[in-house]
Structure 1
Amino acid sequence: MLSKSIVAVLVVFSVVIAGQVCCGAGFSILEQSTVGLGRSLAGMTAETDDPGSLYFNPATGAAHESPTLMLGTHFIFGDVRFHDRGSTLNGDQSDNITSLALVPNLYYVHPLSDGVTLNLGISATSGTATTYEDDWQGRYFGVETEVSVIEFSPSLSWEINDCWSVGAAFVMQYAEALMTQNIDLRTAGQPDGRIKLEGDSIAFGYSFGVLYQPVAGSKIGLGYRSKLTHDVDMKARYRLPAGTAPFVRVPGDDEASISLNLPASINLGMQQELSAKWSLMFDVSWTQWSDMEELKIEFDNGNTRSETMQWRDNWRFALGTEYKLTDKWTLRGGLAFDQTPVRSKDKRVAKLPDTNRVWASLGAGYQVSEKMRLDFAYTRLFFNRCEIEQRGASGTLEGYYEGGMNLVSLALNYQF
């Protein structure tokens, strides 16, 4: 386990994901920019007016001529529920498995010389949490699941000439994981037991990008983020309810590990000025979720627990626009389609019931002064109804999930 002092420092910039279902497909947290969220993240690899674009393309920092700080806060809340359709497991259907979540981030750009900037990002970049009732029908597949990832990413950007800029970032991530599920003791005529696993990990990666501005008013950006593998060392604790018969035995507390593959991704974005006031943005991204083949927990006593996932690579498409209403106000809007990496209902797991989603966004920016801007955004995520058919030794969980999420985003952008 990592030392408590390191954890304490990272918690300052941590993400509170109590009950959050991820807003990006898989368990990506794409809420890195309020400006971008106002248009469903369209054109973020070509964004040169908001430091949050560094997450998508570190080359964008070179466009800033003065030190610039962006502080963002994103509130996430919604309603996602499981509905039974033929499960062989008894128990209750779930209530809302999500609750209010807070995702903060910080990005800073500091020019070193003409065309060269040193940048820093501290943000939550991946995470998921689902919380079910203790007696719900799928309790043997999962009750509580939380994964949170905090990223620290210093980067350099270089404007080669008026047309081309490049950038690269070093990525360090700190991950925490918590999983609980019930142990089926019905064959012994006893109430359920419980296993709880929790642990943490550090992993390293990189990102790089290029920004091309062929003519005034046209920008094209390409960003790449590398795969990171978190080998999470975990403590496994087994518990039996009071009054359990003395002949019932479960393994003692143990050490365990799980590998979480956070996939590589490629993002291509475009921004085009249509007039002095109106701009159009487009974005397409690909994420290599096929690296997520299974959730496999290996215990030091030699036992293993695994859930087959066999995810596929996924695509995301976004279209957005901006309109400069006045010298003070800028209006934004956008739509996006985010494909789920889950192949079929028998590959969907209760710990992470992912599905296709459509983003619909509105946003605005207010120029408070020459140096300060406030940005606001609201996004509604419409989740496709998704079926699940998860089989295990205790029975089959069969039914569907439906619901949606809301994102409310606020940010301060300040030039020093």
Structure 2
Amino acid sequence: MKIRILLSVGLLVSSCTHASGLYFYETGTEDTALAGAGQAARAQDASTIMTNPAGMTQLPDHMFTGGLQVMDGSIDYQLNNTAQRSPGDVMKTFPNTSAFYSQKVTDNLYAGIGLYGNYGLGIDYGNWAGDRLIKKSTMAAMTLSPSLAYKLNDRLSIGASANANYGFLSLTRNVNDNDRQQQDHDWAMSYRLGLLMELSGQTRAGITWNSQTDYGFNINGKVRGKTLPLSAQVRAPQQLMLSVVHDVNQQWSLMADLGWQDWSQFGAPQVTVNGRKANQANRMKDTWHSALGVQYRPTAQWRLNAGVAFDSSPYRRQDDVAMTLPTGDEWRFGTGAQYQITAASNIGIAVEYLHMQSSKVSSPSAFAGSYDHPYLWFASVNYSYQF
């Protein structure tokens, strides 16, 4: 669903502190080529553990799926005060990987495990006017997701995952003309429930619920000769995803998504400095996701994918966004292909372009500016083997 996750990393200006990072569903799987369309109902490989664990009941007795991915783009920040040095493009190339395994235990019971990174972003502001606040920041996380699925009957399956999430935060700032790097890490638990329904011989629907995920980071930041203990929260909201896949015939399949994320419960990024919260106005609202995708199988060996998705902005106003969460309405455009190497294995490639709505930063006022036409791109390769 939505890619956004609030990450307060300790940007200090007077008493105001805030920042952010990103949460992705792009993890190097075939879903990237479809812009995520049909993700909770497709169940064509073991990565369904991440999108709907109930989908394991549609897989062979044993199946492995792995993926490699790279993300890059342009997130250009320009200060309103042209007398100050602007950061420019703060985006850094960010690699990713994933691995999933599913196994049939009994006629109706399936078990699986996934290891993937769908939290993370690297940003580099360089030597800009506010380098005492931040120069570089990296948030990376990996999720270990043991899962179970049970086929209730020929038309209905249920699934569940317990996700152990490990997060790592690194922050670099200019302190007395020297780069100072600070780090922290944390574990967070989250849960996933899935339902898969065979509506007919040609139509499948899936519903997935993901619980809220909360990381907590603590960093001691030295500002103007004083050390301040910072406590920052990284939050991903609870979310619902409804997906449908319809096989028109042996060659064509259509798929769609409708999703919701509960961003309004967070209000605004929260950071605690010396036990006091750096409160901000309630700037967040719930978001909605929709996607359409198509698969075309010209031969028994090839499967071609294409998809488009839209996510609404989590901000109530685009002229008051967090400095390090430059997002708004988002459009995704994906395409790719899968090739059946043997009866037991296939390989695929996927590319996706993500366009974000322009936005403006009003606080901290000393470094107010704008992000104009930011975008990201993803390129990935995936491999599946059944045995």
Normalising by structure 2, we get a TM-score of 0.88
Task: Determine the C-alpha separation between the residues in 2 that align with 1:290 and 1:297.
Answer: 17
Identical residues among aligned pairs (%):
21
Residues of 2 paired with 1:399 and 1:95: CA distance?
10
Q: Which amino acid aligns with 1:220?
A: A
Seen in structure 2, the aligned counterparts of structure 1 residues 385 and 68 have a Cα distance that, compared at 3 Å, is: same
Q: 2:242 matched to 1:268?
A: yes
Deviation at 1:342, TM superposition (A): 2.0
* Cα deviation, residue 256, structure 1: 3.4
Spell out the pairing of 1:143-158 with structure 2 (5 A cutoff).
143-158=135-150
Residue by residue over 1:82-113, the C-alpha shift from the partner in whole angstroms, topping out at 9 and shown as x without a partner, is 233x33x8421223211221110111101101
Residues 19-39 of structure 1, C-alpha deviation per residue, up to 9 Å, x if partnerless?
xxx982342111135221111
Partner of 2:11: none
Give the corresponding residue for 1:405.
376
The answer to whether the Cα contact below 8 Å between 1:194 and 1:238 also exists between their aligned partners in 2 is no
> Larger C-alpha radius of gyration, 1 or 2?
1
Query: Shift of residue 291 of structure 1?
Result: 3.3
The alignment status of 1:32 with 2:27, answered yes or no, reads: yes
In the alignment, what sits opposite 1:291? 265
| Structure 2 residue aligned with 1:236 | 220
Change (3 A) 1:127 1:169: same
1:414 has 2:385 as partner: yes
Matched, 1:369 2:342: yes
Counterparts of residues 155-234 of structure 1 (less than 5 Å): 155-181=147-173, 197-232=182-217, 234=218
Aligned residue type for 2:189: F
C-alpha distance 333-374 of structure 1, shift in aligned 2 (>3 A): same
Give the Cα separation in 1 of the matches to 2:281 and 2:123: 18
Query: Relative to 1, partners in 2 of residues 1:193 and 1:75: Cα closer, same or farther, differing over 3 Å?
Result: closer
CA–CA distance in 1 between the matches of 2:254 and 2:284?
33
Distance in 1 between residues matched to 2:193 and 2:114, nearest whole Å: 14
Distance 1:298 1:263 in 2: 20
CA distance in 2 between partners of 1:352 and 1:196 (Å): 21
1:57 alignment partner in structure 2: 52
Give the deviation of 1:182 after TM superposition.
5.7
Q: Contact 1:65–1:111 (CA<8 Å) still a contact in 2?
A: yes
Q: CA offset at residue 361 of structure 1? A: 1.0
Listed as ranges, the gaps of 5+ residues in structure 2 are 6-21
Deviates more, 1:205-214 or 1:170-179: 170-179
Using the TM superposition, give the Cα deviation of residue 220 of structure 1 relative to its aligned residue in structure 2, in angstroms. 0.2
Read off the aligned partner of 1:225 and give its amino acid letter: N
- Bigger drift between 302-311 and 368-377 goes to 302-311
State yes or no: 1:278 paired with 2:252. Answer: yes
Alignment match, 1:82: 77
SS in structure 2 at match of 1:359? strand
Instruction: Tell me the SS of whatever aligns to 2:269.
Output: strand
Which letter maps to 1:91?
Q
Q: 1:176 to 1:293 in 2, by over 3 A?
A: farther
C-alpha distance 182-293 of structure 1, shift in aligned 2 (>3 A): farther
Residue aligned with 2:40, SS? helix
TM-fit CA distance, 1:44: 0.8
Distance 1:121 1:34 in 2: 12
Gaps of 5+ in 1: 1-21, 184-190, 240-248
What is the CA-CA distance between 1:363 and the residue it aligns to? 0.8
Normalised TM-score (structure 1):
0.82
Partner in structure 1 of residue 13 of structure 2: none
CA-to-partner distance for each residue in 1:54-76, whole Å, 9 max, x for gaps?
Answer: 21211101111321000111111
> Is contact 1:261-1:291 (8 Å) kept?
no
Report the RMSD for the aligned CA atoms in angstroms: 2.4
